[in-house]
Structure 1
């Protein structure tokens, strides 16, 4: 991998309303131009969960451009070519994904679904914050990888391992 390249990352979840949205926002913020993140769902809800947006705002991340979208949008010939495709929910990890142009590296970074949590509003907010903190930690680990010095197999092994942390 190249040191001065901008790496495209696609975060996938089933509904593309919470976890993948959080990951997209965090990666774009933390990646500071080295990474361009996108998110999509196998069966998108069509709306972004308001608590996901609230959580991103708490990290001082602008939220005006997020939308729930289908993963087929990123399998089209004119779509950005992905370097990494990361699933963040167990259901999406088990689905048959489209064929991604360029054969990106893939890994599973499962995170509990904060949108499925039943409880008080404050408890729901805490679930979203916990998911964001887990994703942030994993993204920071990925960003710390010396991509220009690692071969493809080593990078693939590392991004898979990050999903277990």
Structure 2
């Protein structure tokens, strides 16, 4: 796999989970990765819970934009990872180049019930799970792996 490794994170609204994943990989992965996120039905904003949870982790995502997957449908990606069950069930664009795809099912912090503090705590927990998965991705020798090995590996990461 060539460097930089191009990664797309998807969720329906592209306002929370996929935005946090984009920020985490950009922050931790450095120049080895080129990352973006998108959604099937973008909310049009990055959710304040995501911005605050990431700020607490030392990552600024306040400048990121919520966007439609139509805006990136012509771009080539090496990995396309869905983060919500509804986006995984949708008919995704036919990504050029046949990227490796995987689904990392994570609960939606935006839909969490409770006080603002409880919802933020939940969002931080989801961000922590994303960071663990992304940490495994970064630690992997992706450039030395075959497409089948990468596919198996990113699906294994889904179970973490």
Which TM-score bucket, shorter chain as reference? over 0.9
| Contact preservation (8 Å) 1:15, 1:44 | yes
Q: State the secondary structure of the residue aligned to 1:33.
A: helix
| Contact preservation (8 Å) 2:19, 2:61 | no
| Contact preservation (8 Å) 2:41, 2:68 | yes
1:60 CA drift (Å): 1.4
| Contact preservation (8 Å) 1:74, 1:100 | no
What do the CA deviations read for 1:67-98 (whole angstroms, capped 9, x no partner)?
Answer: 1100011113xx3x211000000000011100
Match of 1:52 in 2: 50
Paired with 1:65 and 1:8, the residues of 2 have a C-alpha distance of: 20
For residue 132 of structure 2, the aligned residue among 130, 134, 137 is: 137
Paired with 1:62 and 1:114, the residues of 2 have a C-alpha distance of: 18
| Contact preservation (8 Å) 1:11, 1:20 | yes
Structure 1: which 5+ runs fail to align? none
* Large movers: runs of 4+ above 3 Å: none
1:65 CA drift (Å): 2.1
Structure 2: which 5+ runs fail to align? none
For residue 60 of structure 2, the aligned residue among 43, 59, 62 is: 62
Alignment of 1:114 onto 2:109: yes
| Contact preservation (8 Å) 2:20, 2:61 | no
Superposed CA RMSD in Å reads 1.0
Match of 2:97 in 1: 102
Match of 2:5 in 1: 7
For residue 26 of structure 1, the aligned residue among 17, 20, 24 is: 24
| Contact preservation (8 Å) 1:18, 1:114 | yes
Match of 1:16 in 2: 14
Paired with 1:66 and 1:103, the residues of 2 have a C-alpha distance of: 26
Match of 1:36 in 2: 34
Larger helix percent: 2
| Contact preservation (8 Å) 2:16, 2:46 | yes
Alignment of 1:147 onto 2:145: no
For these two proteins, the number of residue pairs brought into alignment is: 160
Give TM-score, length-normalised by structure 1. Answer: 0.94
